[in-house]
Amino acid sequence: MLYLVTGSNGAGKTLFTLRWVRDLQLEWEKKQGVKRPVYYDGFEINSDVAEKFGWLPCDPKKWMELPDNSIVMVDECQRIFPTRAQGSLNPDFEEEIAISHRKRGFDFFLVTQHPSNISSFIRKLIGSGWHRHLKRIFGFNRVNCLSFNYAETSCEKPYAKKNAYQEKKLKFPTEVYSWYKSAELHTAKREIPKVFYLVVLGIFFALGAAWRFYDVTFNRESKPEAQQVQTASVDVQLQQQATRSSVRENQPMSTVEYIKTFEPRIQGLPHTASRYDEITKPVTAAYPAACIYSAERDVCKCYSQQATAMDVSKITCMSIVDRGYFLDWEPDERRREEENNHDRG
């Protein structure tokens, strides 16, 4: 049989494959009463483990010289079975796998990052065994394992699940750490996806909304008198403030107060001084009249109806470029145009 194990760096491909190879060897030993020969290539196994298990290194291209019923594990197998140009001849050792590996009782465990890294000839032989694709779960010592009865070349895609005959969550076989030398398992960082934080925020938002609904529906009904008293108190305060303001308006400003009216609220913009409040009341609102996306620079910018640049996020800008922007009021330019047309008429 041919077994293919794929996954990105840090997914535990070699770790799990070593466990599966050892389990298959022990299963044979239990049934036959003798150790099944195991050969490996592409990684370094600790000498004491190799001696205990009876595992030996090999040249996979010379697998035909190995004894019958052997298990051959090849890590980074794209070194041995690389892709080739269409029409190229397959090497003899590959052709021989298709011809005699089953009748000689061989099992091949091939490890690589993706099925497309190895020759199509070998991929087509996977149907006799299985293809397992491993994806590490947020950097934790667990993987999602998809099993296919053929070499699935879209194994990393989200929709690949529907083509798998089995999906499992597997814990790392930590006892295998000491069997061989590997750094890849210690480089993956635990990363919680952003959607997790969004879900948590959504829960808090829902709880807040529920509490607000309860407060509005029940608490306010139980305290009408207190609210009436509070409302009356606020009304009195507003009346008193209005009275004081009216009195102040009838009195001339002091020199200090007059000078303060010239001080701009925003440095460098004189018209933001309080003395200009009456003549600077807004009569129009800025809106994105034009948004432009530059594919070459991957930049999206929006401009107001006065051709001034607006601080609009890229997502919003791209949305306006794609879908447009609806104004639920009449722009001042359109009103002036309609008034001019009416006057001419």
Helices (H), the chain: 13-32, 47-53, 92-100, 120-123, 194-214, 220-222, 224-249, 255-260, 314-323, 332-344
What average pLDDT does the chain have?
A: 85
The residues, any chain, with a CB within 8 Å of residue 89's CB and separated by 6 or more, are none
- The more confident residue out of 174 and 208 is 174
How far is Cα 37 from Cα 96, in angstroms, rounded to an integer? 20
pLDDT tens track for 15-24: 999 999 999 9
pLDDT at 219: 60
Of 154, 159, 94, 157, nearest to 120 by C-alpha is: 94
Residue range 184-214, pLDDT digits in tens: 544 445 455 555 456 556 676 677 777 666 6
Residue with tokens 């952003």: 194
63 burial (CB, 10 Å; 0-12 / 13-18 / 19+) is buried
Dump pLDDT digits (tens) for 284-315: 888 898 999 888 888 999 999 888 999 999 99
The model's confidence at residue 67, banded by pLDDT at 50, 70 and 90, is very high
State in Å, rounded, how far the first CA of the chain is from the last one. 90
Core vs surface per residue 156-172: b (16+ CB within 10 A) or e: beeebeeebeeeeebeb
| Residues 97-112, mean pLDDT to the nearest whole number | 96
Q: How far is CA 117 from the centre of its chain?
A: 24
50-54, 111-115, 127-131, 149-153 — which is least confidently predicted? 127-131
pLDDT band at 244 (very low <50, low <70, confident <90, very high): low
Report whether pLDDT(42) > 90.
yes
pLDDT in tens, 257-290: 888 888 888 888 888 888 888 888 888 888 898 9
**In the chain, what percentage of residues exceed pLDDT 70?**
78
The reported pLDDT for the residue numbered 184 is: 52
Which of 140, 193, 203 minimizes the C-alpha distance to 10?
A: 140
* The pLDDT of residue 218: 64
Q: How far apart are alpha carbons 117 and 33 in whole angstroms? A: 38
pTM > 0.95: yes or no: no
Query: DSSP assignment of 289-333, as one string?
Result: -EEEEETTTTEEEEE-TTS-EE---HHHHHHHHHH----SS--HH
Range of lowest pLDDT (49-53, 131-135, 184-188, 301-305): 184-188
What integer pLDDT is reported at residue 243 of this predicted model? Answer: 61
pLDDT on residue 338? 59
What's the CATH code, domain 2-186?
3.40.50.300
pLDDT of residue 239 exceeding 80? no
pLDDT confidence of residue 305? 87
Q: Where in the chain is the domain with CATH 3.40.50.300?
A: 2-186
